[in-house]
């Protein structure tokens, strides 16, 4: 197989194309079709389900399962990244998580409240697969791109992801709204539910099939020829300790990671629960209007996010990464405050537009800023493992807080408003990140 040099157009495009493959999970499963499908399973006004020996609000249940999945990811990713570094083949692990996630998406076709535990396992494994693969996907960035290329190719990856996921979502939308076009039979409600289940299958197949180009082009890693033994099983935690020690000596990186940990906690939580919020807290007028409204809202987010990622990349080049992140965090903070008062579809659409504008930008810029701040090293997997562990632990905390407030107060509005605090703290911490020793940062 041909080996492509670092910085080559083919290699960069192949890396970015994985966003096209896997972003359908975040849009259809995490953000749109599955939350609508899950809400429709609760046909009465009673939003509580008896599970794990107690009554849990349906949205809080998903928050807690999501938090547990991220806790598992935070624990296993250092183990796997340590093994990947040791044997020098991170692509094998990236594939494993990709296929696990893709097959779990297909398994969601059989999601049922009658078999809630098995159903939650499929949901759980989908999260594990998606986020587990990103540990190794992100760690490729410094390996395949030079520093001056990283902002642009990171933004391109997110943009490709938005385009691919929107394309599949439009197809899924047509399946749900016009099931007869696709030969899906039953009453209006039954056919729509069937279409949603089939859309989960399309996500799994899309993810697995389109990722093959990325796997064909990306290098395996720096091959060592070494075998995995018991002694190296927890090598990743040792590497994280070394990374932590290195970070403590790097003031800029240390302060940036503190800020990232706090604001990312809120960003990822909002992205994971936004549709559940819209499904429960907005007065759509009817089930058909709700389905269409929520899907249109997510489409707006995705389309605007393409522009947002581009504008953020341009702004970072002109004003610096940290300054741009501060402004973006201010926008997120305002959105949390405004979200508390959202009641009508129009208000939700306005919120969706601004969320899209800052969603892709903050993700792409956060990733590339961290990559730029890294010291000279060949051990990029361990550094990105640390980055991902910090992000996942933040999500665990964010989702548990969000779900707990939702469960106790019975309203997701209070949870959204609480996230305002995390963005405020994130802004304060970003102001403390030194800039003067880094050009364009």
Please determine, for residue 75, whether its predicted confidence score (pLDDT) is greater than 70: yes
Q: What is the pLDDT of residue 438?
A: 45
Mean pLDDT of 140-157: 80
Q: Residue 166 contacts by C-beta under 8 Å, 6 or more apart in sequence?
A: 27, 299, 302, 303
Confidence at 99, pLDDT banded by 50, 70, 90: very high
Residue whose tokens read 């159903």: 119
What is the share, in percent, of the chain residues with pLDDT greater than 70?
91
pLDDT in tens, 233-266: 666 677 778 888 888 888 888 899 999 989 998 8
Q: What is the pLDDT of residue 52?
A: 81
Please determine, for residue 226, whether its predicted confidence score (pLDDT) is greater than 60: no
Please determine, for residue 203, whether its predicted confidence score (pLDDT) is greater than 90: yes
Confidence at 231, pLDDT banded by 50, 70, 90: low
Domains of the chain: 9-431 (1.20.1250.20)
Collapsing DSSP to helix, strand or coil, 42 comes out as coil
Please determine, for residue 18, whether its predicted confidence score (pLDDT) is greater than 60: yes
CB atoms within 10 A of CB 409: 12
Q: What is the pLDDT of residue 356?
A: 85
Please determine, for residue 368, whether its predicted confidence score (pLDDT) is greater than 50: yes
Q: What is the pLDDT of residue 423?
A: 92
Sign of CA dihedral 352, 200, 68, 280: positive
pLDDT in tens, 288-314: 788 888 888 887 887 787 788 788 888
Q: What count of Cα atoms within 13 Å lies in the side-chain half-sphere of residue 133?
A: 27
Confidence at 381, pLDDT banded by 50, 70, 90: low
Q: What is the pLDDT of residue 379?
A: 63
**Residues 7 and 147 sit within 8 Å (Cβ to Cβ):** no
Collapsing DSSP to helix, strand or coil, 410 comes out as coil
Mean pLDDT of 313-326: 87
C-alpha 202: how far from its chain's center?
A: 19
Q: What is the pLDDT of residue 1?
A: 60
pLDDT, averaged across the chain: 84
Q: What is the pLDDT of residue 440?
A: 41
**Residues 176 and 417 sit within 8 Å (Cβ to Cβ):** no
Please determine, for residue 317, whether its predicted confidence score (pLDDT) is greater than 70: yes
Q: What is the pLDDT of residue 259?
A: 92
299, two tokens: 């489409």
Span of 71-80, 166-175, 222-231, 429-438 with lowest mean pLDDT: 222-231
The model's pTM is 0.78
CB atoms within 10 A of CB 294: 26
Span of 2-6, 110-114, 133-137 with lowest mean pLDDT: 2-6
Q: What is the pLDDT of residue 279?
A: 82
Confidence at 105, pLDDT banded by 50, 70, 90: very high
């Amino acid at each position: 197989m041909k080996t492509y040099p670092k910085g080559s157009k083919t290699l960069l495009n192949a890396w970015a194309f994985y966003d096209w493959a896997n972003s359908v999970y975040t849009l259809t499963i995490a953000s749109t079709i599955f939350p609508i499908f899950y809400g429709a399973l609760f046909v009465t006004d009673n939003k509580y389900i008896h599970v794990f020996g107690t009554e849990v609000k349906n949205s809080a249940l998903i928050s807690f399962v999501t938090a547990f999945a991220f806790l598992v990811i935070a624990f296993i990713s250092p183990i796997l990244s340590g093994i990947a570094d040791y044997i020098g083949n991170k692509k094998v692990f990236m594939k494993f998580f990709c296929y696990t996630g893709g097959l779990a998406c297909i398994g969601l076709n059989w999601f049922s409240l009658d078999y809630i535990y098995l159903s939650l396992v499929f949901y759980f494994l989908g999260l594990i697969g998606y986020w587990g693969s990103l540990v190794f996907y992100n760690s490729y960035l410094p390996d395949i791109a030079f520093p001056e290329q990283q902002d642009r190719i990171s933004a391109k990856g997110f943009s490709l992801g938005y385009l691919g996921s929107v394309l599949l979502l439009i197809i899924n939308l047509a399946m749900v709204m016009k099931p007869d076009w696709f030969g899906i039979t039953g009453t209006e409600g039954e056919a729509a539910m069937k279409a949603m289940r089939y859309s989960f299958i399309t996500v799994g197949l899309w993810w697995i099939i389109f990722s093959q180009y990325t796997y064909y082009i990306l290098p395996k890693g720096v091959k060592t020829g070494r075998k995995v033994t018991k002694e190296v099983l927890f090598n990743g935690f040792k590497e994280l300790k070394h990374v932590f020690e290195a970070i403590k000596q790097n003031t800029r990186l240390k302060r940036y990671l503190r800020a990232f940990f706090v604001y990312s906690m809120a960003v990822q939580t909002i992205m994971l629960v936004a549709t559940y919020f819209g499904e429960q807290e907005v007065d759509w007028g009817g089930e058909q209007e709700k389905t269409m409204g929520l899907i249109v809202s997510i489409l707006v987010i995705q389309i605007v996010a393409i522009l947002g990622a581009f504008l953020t990349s341009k702004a970072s080049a002109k004003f610096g990464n940290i300054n741009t992140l501060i402004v973006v965090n201010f926008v997120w903070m305002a959105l949390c405050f405004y979200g508390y008062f959202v009641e009508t579809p129009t208000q939700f659409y306005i919120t969706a537009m601004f969320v899209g504008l800052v969603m892709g930008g903050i993700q792409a810029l956060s990733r590339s800023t961290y990559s730029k701040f890294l010291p000279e090293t060949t051990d990029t997997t361990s550094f990105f493992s640390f980055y991902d562990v910090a992000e996942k632990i933040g999500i665990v905390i964010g989702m548990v807080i969000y779900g707990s407030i939702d469960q106790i107060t019975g309203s997701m509005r209070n949870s959204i408003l609480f996230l305002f605090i995390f963005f405020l703290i994130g802004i304060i911490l970003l102001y403390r990140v030194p800039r003067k020793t880094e050009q364009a940062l």
